[in-house]
């Protein structure tokens, strides 16, 4: 059997262009779940910095947006739910941003940076909610109404974040630890 040089070149090009299994996939999944399960809240929250790019920051912290929802493991789904719950607790819980903003206002202090941080964390929470709901939907749960509500909520927060673009943003860094994640999900 004689194989021509153009055939060899075509076959070698196709073999180079074919997808190669991602050898770091398991490592990325571990890093993702560790973001929620073992790192302190202040290491994965997005409230600090500047307002204006909350969704981009959320997607950088939780890089699963482009993945097929059916490829998300149970551990990753739990991490999404725990992250959303902790993000909400950082806002409404004891020592959370709501409490700190009220205290700062009562003392006559400027609260804009704290408010911007709270908005960014709301974007993160809604993004995590949306991702978790989409995974559950892909697994057969009928929750499209909840997904639509979460998209409505995130749109409002993203508009507020964009309206404050470039302004300082401050989060609460010492109040919440991820050890609460397991308690929240029970």
Q: What is the mean pLDDT of the chain?
A: 79
The pLDDT of residue 62: 81
The pLDDT of residue 179: 45
Provide the 8-state DSSP code for 175: S
* Position 13 confidence tier, pLDDT thresholds 50, 70, 90: very low
The pLDDT of residue 12: 40
Q: Could you read off the pLDDT of 48-79 as tens digits, one per residue?
A: 999 999 999 998 888 877 888 999 999 889 98
- Mean pLDDT on 36-54: 82
Buried b (16+ CB within 10 A) or exposed e, 142-175: eeeebbeebeebbeebbebbeebeeeebbbbeeb
- Mean pLDDT on 41-46: 81
Q: In the predicted model, is pLDDT for residue 85 greater than 80? A: yes
The pLDDT of residue 167: 98
The pLDDT of residue 26: 53
Q: In the predicted model, is pLDDT for residue 21 greater than 80? A: no
Q: In the predicted model, is pLDDT for residue 22 greater than 70? A: no
- Mean pLDDT on 155-159: 96
- Mean pLDDT on 174-180: 51
Q: Three-class SS of residue 172?
A: coil
Domain boundaries, the chain: 39-185
């Amino acid at each position: 059997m004689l194989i021509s040089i153009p055939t060899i070149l075509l076959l070698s090009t196709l073999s180079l262009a074919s997808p190669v299994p991602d050898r770091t996939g398991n490592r990325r999944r571990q890093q993702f779940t560790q973001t929620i399960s073992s790192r302190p809240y202040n290491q994965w929250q997005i409230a600090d910095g500047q307002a204006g790019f909350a969704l981009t920051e959320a997607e950088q912290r939780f890089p699963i947006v482009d993945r097929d929802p059916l490829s998300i493991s149970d551990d990753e789904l739990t991490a999404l739910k725990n992250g959303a719950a902790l993000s909400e607790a950082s806002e409404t819980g004891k020592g959370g941003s709501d409490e700190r903003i009220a205290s700062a206002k009562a003392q006559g202090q400027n609260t804009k940076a704290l408010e911007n941080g709270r908005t960014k964390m709301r974007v993160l929470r809604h993004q995590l909610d949306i991702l978790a709901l989409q995974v559950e939907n892909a697994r057969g749960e009928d929750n499209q109404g909840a997904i639509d509500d979460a998209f409505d909520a995130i749109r409002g927060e993203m508009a507020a974040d964009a309206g404050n673009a470039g302004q300082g943003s401050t989060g609460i860094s010492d109040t919440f630890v991820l050890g609460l994640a397991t308690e929240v999900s029970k």
